[in-house]
A and B are shown apart, each in its own frame.
Chain A
Amino acid sequence: MSRPLEGIRVLDFTWVMAGPVATRILAALGAEVIKIERQPEIYLASQMGIANDINRDKLSVSINMANPRGIELAQSLARISDIVMDNFSARVMRQWKMDYDNLVAIKPDIICVSMSGFGHTGPHTNYVSFGPTLQALTGFSLMMADEQGRPAGFSYSYSDSAGGYTGALAAMFALWHRKRTGKGQFVDFSQFEGLTSLIGPDLLDMSVNRRKPQPHKWRSQEGPAAPHGVYKCRPRGQDADRWIAISVRSQEQWHRFAAAIGNPPWTADPRFRTLYSRMQHDAALDQLVGQWTQGQNAEAAVALLQDAGVAAGLVENIEDAALRDPQFQARGYWPAVAMPGGARTQVSGMPFKMSRTPPNVLNGAHNVGADADYVLGDLLGISPADRQRLANDKVIWVE
């Protein structure tokens, strides 16, 4: 059984991160993604080693969009595509006449999904944005302050990953509508709004109750819990950065937790008798739980607590996740992909299974321009001599 999006062609103008994350999801579901590079080399020196993760299973052609013949080529590709995706600010695609209004004239059922930072309308439509700046703007940096009140954050751009999955979902909605009705449309996805939509309950609290925001730190965000947080464990070899997460909610879980760690006398302290009083005294409780964990091997402590039915988990670093976590292994989360030249590496997989049409991850990122023969020759019918001429005139770059 072929994958869900087989037969769908995506013309992919996205770059850097959020857009490519969106189109890699469509590729894993079977879409043919043609990634347009706009220079002879890949952006950001192979994207800091993560190109195979974000650009896997995409065809690569490189077109000089500063050249009118390059724009003609891109429009010819749009004519045989189902969906055109970009994550530029609003003006870029318009400048190239690759925006929805221009493309719908040459391909009436085209879908354009634009994943700009701030959207195509409004006073900030042309603002430049990056994931970390959006995170700061939407409040994540301050809300994630550490115990000393210093702003903190993700150490990466969660905004780009979130923009990626939101953009992919938007594309799927539009594709589904077209499948049912034959109609394309323009989707104006603002990553700023995407990120703002991921803090809903707290934003509603600020809007409805006029709550002043303050960092949650380790207080539970889904109902009361205590103990709740991360607790430091015994070093693993030289590595002292070992932590486990523990989350205890019901009274029954508390009793199981106490029993699992051997009912030390402090678990009978009246301050910890009810969930409410445990939360009132959470600093004292956290310290005592931490005294227990610091003598424990992290993995063993997790197994002990889970055996007792207590929610607990290793604070995994990538080595834990890639090499030691048996769950990722058992579900085949780290697929091996072929890189140009034949060597193999592993990448992050798709986080869901489908019983009949599973998503698939096969190959790493293609070299820039590697698929010019197929895309420009087979799909557009441009002869080898004409392709050579385009390359000589620097309208395209080939591998």
Chain B
Amino acid sequence: MEASAMAGLRVLELADQRGSLCGRLLADMGADVIKVEPPGGDPARRIGPFLDDRPHPDRSLFFWFYNLNKRAITLDYTRSAGAEILLRLADCADIVIESLKPGRLAELGLGWEQLHRRNPALILCSIAPFGQTGPYRDYEADDTVAAAMGGLVYICGYRQEKPVRAWGLQAYHCANYYAAIAALGALFARARDGLGQWVDVSIQESTMAAIEHLAGNFFGPRIIPERYGTMHWARGFRVGKCRDGYVMHCLAADWTSLIEWVKADGKAQDLDDPKWGHRPYQREHVEHVFDVLDEWIKDYPAGELLRRAQTLRLPYGVVQWPDKLLEDEQLAARGYFVEVEHPELGRTFRYPGAPYLFGGTPWRLYRRPPLLGEHTVAVLGGELGIGTEELAVLSGEEVI
């Protein structure tokens, strides 16, 4: 079997949907990620969509996606018996990922100071809407509110109209990728002197860090970028409507090839004037350029337009619904989708797979998402060495 980049690392995850993707990214590369859920289960188990639209903690597709490749135990670490077990688990962990309210872990006797004192090598990675410090630390937020305060909502949609929101929980996604990067950074630092540290990830800041043009436009020329519909702020792209659908116009290619084609179709209007080949002028009046091009394509079938664009090496883009990805030949050729067997359901499902292909340490499917409490006995009994009788008591007291 090929190597795993994260082999031998143990991660404890005390996270809901705000912080679950980070552990997933590490688990996909071979880390042993143990999700520690409260007795009722991670709240994400109650978030849809559900398999066959039948709500159940073990049928949430939302939970499935974020928790593939992890193991799961239930443990009520808000009670002292549970907190004590958590500390013992943390003694033999490399990383703890948490997305509780800032300060909550410390209230439970599980904060950075306590964890660090017991296990100085441990890395604590906290993910919170506004981070662990500052005046908004205790503000309530979900992905919507964090995305709004991180600058992502204001710029999506059309000028003068209500903003639209990003598809997918992108504020969380940004924060979780950054959290994984930071956790790995802490591993590098620990490799030098054996000491862990506390990583503090802000979802608001991670969202802002994923917007390329705001700081540069503001701190220099004091421009406040607005909502431009489907147009890219640098004005090279806009969606246009064909006879039977949409395509993405692209001006970031050879202008002459494009305009010769439009002219041959008799639709160039004034765009054959050489002044339009001058980029700064074109950028300044780009709305007109796109309006003329929209008029040009409106009777074209999208497929024909895209085929002809391809032969001229004009990177016009397909605008499609995402279910087309399931039959995309490029994704298929690279084995992007993976079949995941759920034996307890007697079924196999196609999951989105790896965002990257590693030559030496590939992304791998290790196990389907865990059922609620599936590994409690194996982890606490087998690995932590808690005896059968004590497990029974803990279970009776609803600690596990």
Contact = CB atoms under 8 A, between A and B. Distances in A.
Contacts of B166: 140, 144, 154, 158
Interface in B312-342: 313, 315-326, 329-331, 333-334, 336-337
A221 B181 contact: no
Contacts of A76: none
8 contacts: A1-B189, A124-B329, A130-B237, A152-B164, A173-B358, A222-B47, A241-B226, A350-B178
A300 interface: no
A221 B169 contact: yes
B40 to A, nearest CB: 14
B220 to A, nearest CB: 5
Interface string B329-360: 11101101100000000000111111111111
Given A141-B246, A198-B173, A333 B143 contact: no
Interface stretch (A65-73, A259-267, A315-323, A383-391): A315-323
A125 B280 CA distance: 32
A159 to B, nearest CB: 10
B158 A318 contact: no
Contact of B356 (A154, A179, A194, A198): A194
B128 to A, nearest CB: 11
Residue of A127, A142, A156 contacting most chain B CB atoms (<10 Å):
A156
Given A349-B209, A356-B189, A334 B215 contact: yes
Contact of B175 (A211, A218, A351): A351
Residue of A217, A230, A318 contacting most chain B CB atoms (<10 Å):
A318
Given A179-B188, A198-B170, 12 more contacts: A122-B333, A132-B232, A155-B225, A162-B173, A173-B29, A205-B61, A213-B322, A247-B141, A312-B140, A346-B215, A351-B178, A357-B189
A176 B188 contact: yes
Contact of B237 (A25, A132, A249, A345): A132
Contact of A156 (B25, B155, B334): B155
B276 interface: no
B156 interface: yes
Nearest to A179: B191
Given A147-B162, A318-B217, A357-B186, A204 B61 contact: yes
Contacts of A351: 174-175, 178, 201-202, 205-206, 208-209
Interface in B164-199: 164-170, 173-175, 177-182, 184-189, 191, 193, 195, 197-199
A43 B192 CA distance: 38
A161 B233 CA distance: 14
Nearest to A306: B139
Interface in A117-137: 118-119, 121-125, 127-134, 136-137
A313 B189 contact: no
A189 interface: yes
A146 B160 CA distance: 12
B199 A352 contact: yes
Instruction: Give the interface size bracket for A toward B.
Output: 35 or more
Interface string A342-378: 0001111111111111010000000000000000000
B202 A165 contact: no
B384 interface: no
Given A155-B232, A220-B144, A318-B224, A196 B336 contact: yes
Interface string B265-278: 00000000000000
A177 B361 contact: yes
A168 B139 CA distance: 30
B74 interface: no
Interface string B58-94: 0001101110000000000000000000000000000
Given A141-B230, A194-B356, A355-B197, A318 B177 contact: no
A25 B168 CA distance: 23
Given A208-B61, A230-B153, A173 B214 contact: no
A152 B230 contact: yes
B5 interface: yes
Given A209-B49, A314-B148, A50 B189 contact: no
